[in-house]
Amino acid sequence: MPETALIIGCGYLGRVVARRWLARGLRVHALTRSKADELTALGVTPIMGDVTDPATLSFPAADRILYAVGMDRSAGKSMRDVYLGGLENVLNRLPPGGAFAYVSSTSVYGQADGEWVNELSLTEPTEDSGNLLLACESLLHARRPDAMILRFAGIYGPGRVIRRAAVERGEPLAADPEKWLNLIHVHDGAAVIETVTGRPDAGGVYNVSDGTPVTRRDFYTRMAELLGAPPAAFTAPADGGRDATDRRVANKKLRAAYAPEFAFPSFEAGLRAAITPPG
């Protein structure tokens, strides 16, 4: 019988994973609040439910599980309800077994001096989302110690290029141009999930980034060139916000364990592919 996969949070990243799993012959189920028709069209079996409402949750046993729930601010739920409460609700309802991959974020690191960070680096987040994701990681360590925690850098790809609209309009970007961006192309991130759930490392924690950080100046300058837009310009942010952190995320542990072959090992090729339609 083919393997069964379950996706909880079948959004931008989850749908790319779903396509990869379907191409391998897996039977894929995915939780959704309202997009059953879209999932069915992909070949995915939809499961209607909401992570914030435990009464709606019922899951099949699965060989591979991806948890990639993001924040939908239009749903009117708090970040804590979605991230931490939602994860606890799912863990209470999920059948045992299966390779469990949890999509966390490099926002759990709070370093602000441009230093390199790895999985052993101090985790003192400066953002609310980072603090909640760190709490989710702690919950997993307690409730599901076999879970693989994947700390994703910024995900980009077709249809999702950070600040593209502002660059196209020639608007100054409120950011420090010399601080670092850490990125992973969505297709490379999905390939990592496919690989690690096929060869699970019980309790493993991995940074998922392309390992080649880029300054905001270089990233947005190249984006403007590819878009034929005015040169990227910058202005000081009104407050610290996201610009308060500055770090370079290493992926050596991931490479040593799984030797991923990234299709987009740096932003240059990935940005061009994300912006330029295939022709």
Q: How confident is the model at residue 239 (pLDDT cuts 50, 70, 90)?
A: low
Q: How far apart are CA 223 and CA 226, in angstroms?
A: 5
pLDDT score, position 76: 77
Tell me whether residue 229 is in a domain: no
Mean pLDDT to the nearest integer, 18-35: 96
What is the number of domains present in the chain?
1
pLDDT score, position 41: 97
Find the domain containing 148 and state its range: 4-157+182-213+247-263
Q: What is the per-residue burial (b if ≥16 Cβ within 10 Å, else e) of 220-258? A: bbbbbebbebeebeeeeeeeeeebebbbbbbbebbeeeb
CA atoms within 13 A on the CB side of 138: 9
Identity at 173, one-letter amino acid code: L
Q: Which residues are paired to 27 by β-bridges?
A: 4
pLDDT score, position 242: 54
Tell me whether residue 152 is in a domain: yes
- Collect all residues with Cβ–Cβ distance below 8 Å to 249 and sequence separation of at least 6: 106, 109, 116, 117, 151, 153, 182, 207, 209, 211, 213
pLDDT score, position 237: 82
Find the range with the poorest average confidence among 69-73, 132-136, 222-226: 69-73
**pLDDT per residue over 129-176, tens digit each?**
999 999 999 999 999 999 999 999 999 999 999 999 999 999 999 999
Q: How confident is the model at residue 200 (pLDDT cuts 50, 70, 90)?
A: confident
Tell me whether residue 226 is in a domain: no
Residue 205 token pair = 């924690």
Which residue, 56, 36, 45, 37, is CA-closest to 18?
45
- Lookup result for tokens 């912006």: 275
Tell me whether residue 33 is in a domain: yes
Tell me whether residue 168 is in a domain: no
Q: How far apart are CA 259 and CA 236, in angstroms?
A: 39
Check if the beta carbon of residue 145 is closer than 8 Å to that of residue 202: yes
For 53-110, give the DSSP string.
BGGG------SEEEE-----GGG---HHIIIIIHHHHHHHHSPS-SEEEEEEEGGG--
Identify the DSSP state of 198.
H
- Dihedral in degrees, nearest 10, Cα atoms 228, 232, 233, 234: 150
CA distances, 108 to each of 81, 115, 119 (Å): 18, 15, 10
Q: What is the mean pLDDT of the chain?
A: 94
pLDDT > 70 fraction of the chain, expressed in percent and rounded:
96
Neighbours of 60 (CB within 10 A): 12
Q: How far apart are CA 133 and CA 208, in angstroms?
A: 15
CA atoms within 13 A on the CB side of 224: 19
Q: How far apart are CA 211 and CA 193, in angstroms?
A: 17
pLDDT score, position 240: 52
Q: How confident is the model at residue 243 (pLDDT cuts 50, 70, 90)?
A: low
- Lookup result for tokens 């998922």: 208
Tell me whether residue 269 is in a domain: no
pLDDT score, position 113: 94
Check if the beta carbon of residue 211 is closer than 8 Å to that of residue 181: no
Q: How confident is the model at residue 277 (pLDDT cuts 50, 70, 90)?
A: low
Neighbours of 215 (CB within 10 A): 16
Is the predicted pLDDT of residue 238 greater than 80, yes or no?
Answer: no
CATH number for the domain that contains residue 255: 3.40.50.720
Tell me whether residue 167 is in a domain: no
Tell me whether residue 97 is in a domain: yes
Is the predicted pLDDT of residue 279 greater than 70, yes or no?
Answer: no
